[in-house]
Structures are given as structure tokens and as C-alpha cells.
Amino acid sequence: MKLFKYMVVGFMFGFGMWKLEAISTFRIIEMFHFQSFHMYGIIMTGVIMGIGITQLFKRGKVKTIQGVTHQFNDKSREWWRYILGGTIFGMGWALTGVCSGMMFVLMGSGYTVFAIFIGSAMLGTFAYGYFRKVLPH
């Protein structure tokens, strides 16, 4: 039951992303061709809502369920990892039209071949973990 509430959150997110067509490869192609506002609208309204919500939690106006102020961790200032890792991720995102959250939604939608996709993404994560010390951060 403690974990069930997270499934409800995930359900709402997955359902919404499906209905918003954010899981669509063609929507991603459209976005990278700047041919519609749709995906930008999703991300922009998401970020604008997110900024407001984050500020509410940061300033302690809203406490967490445990009754404390949520602690946000500042991202480390290792620039190369964001530039290189971000570019590699973006290439995968555009190649497939799918990002790491959407692959779970698509798997659930009945495209069972995404089991291989997720397995390959795990392998990619493993490769990063294995070679982490030699990669520039």
C-alpha cells in the first residue's frame, strides 16, 4: 500500500502522456522539424507549472507527507557530462522518437518489442556505469 500511491502517480502520467501524443515518434519528428507548437506547449506548460510547484515546496509553503520541507539537491557543475551525455541522449531520443519514460508507456500499450528496447537501454546504462571513470565529466 505504501508503494501503491506511486503506481497511481505513474498511471496518471503514463495515461496523460499517451493522450497528449507525447509518446508518438511522429510528434517527436514534428518537434525537431519545428512544424508544430504541440510538444513545445507540453514542455513549456509543464515547466511553468513545475517552477511554481517547486517554489511552493522550496519555501516550505507546502510540506511533504512526512511533514518536512523537501530538500532539493543542486545538480553538480560538471559541464562535460551534460553536454556530451545530453547530446547522446538527444540522438537516441530523435532516432527512436521515444524517451526513457515513454518506453514504459509504450511497452504497456501493447508494443511488446519495447522489452528489447528497455533491455538495450539497461545495457546502455550499464555501459555508462562500467566506463564512467574514463569518461570526461
Partner 1 sequence: MYETLEQIHAFISQPWPWWMGGITIGTTLFLLLYFGKDFGLSANLRTMCAADGAGDYADFFDFDWEKQGWNLMVALGAMFGGYIAANYFGGDGMAHVSQATVDTLNNIAGEDLLTISTVPLIPGKDIIHQDIPAFWNLYSWSSLFSVRGLIIIVGGGFLIGFGARYAGGCTSGHAISGLADLQIPSLVAVIGFFTGGLIMTWLILPYILQITI
Site for partner 1 in 107-126 (CB under 8 A): 107-114, 116-126
Distances, alpha carbon 111 to alpha carbons 51, 64, 135, in Å: 34, 36, 34
1 lies in the site for partner 1, by CB under 8 A: no
37 lies in the site for partner 1, by CB under 8 A: yes
Q: Return the residues of window 90-109 that contact partner 1 according to CB under 8 A.
A: 90-101, 103-109
Q: Return the residues of window 68-87 that contact partner 1 according to CB under 8 A.
A: 68, 70, 72-79, 81-87
Q: Return the residues of window 3-32 that contact partner 1 according to CB under 8 A.
A: 3-30, 32
Crossing angle for the helix pair 114-131 and 102-109, to the nearest 10 degrees: 150
Total residues interacting with partner 1, rule: CB under 8 A: 114
The upper half-sphere exposure of residue 12, i.e. CA atoms within 13 Å in the direction of its Cβ, equals: 5
What is the DSSP code string of 36-53? -SHHHHHHHHHHHHHHHH
Binding mask of the shown chain, residues 40 to 59, with x at each position contacting partner 1 by CB under 8 A:
xxxx-xxxxxxx-xx--xx-
Cβ 30 to partner 1 shortest distance, Å: 4
Cβ 61 to partner 1 shortest distance, Å: 12
The CA distance from 54 to 59, in Å, is 9
The CA distance from 114 to 104, in Å, is 8
60 lies in the site for partner 1, by CB under 8 A: no
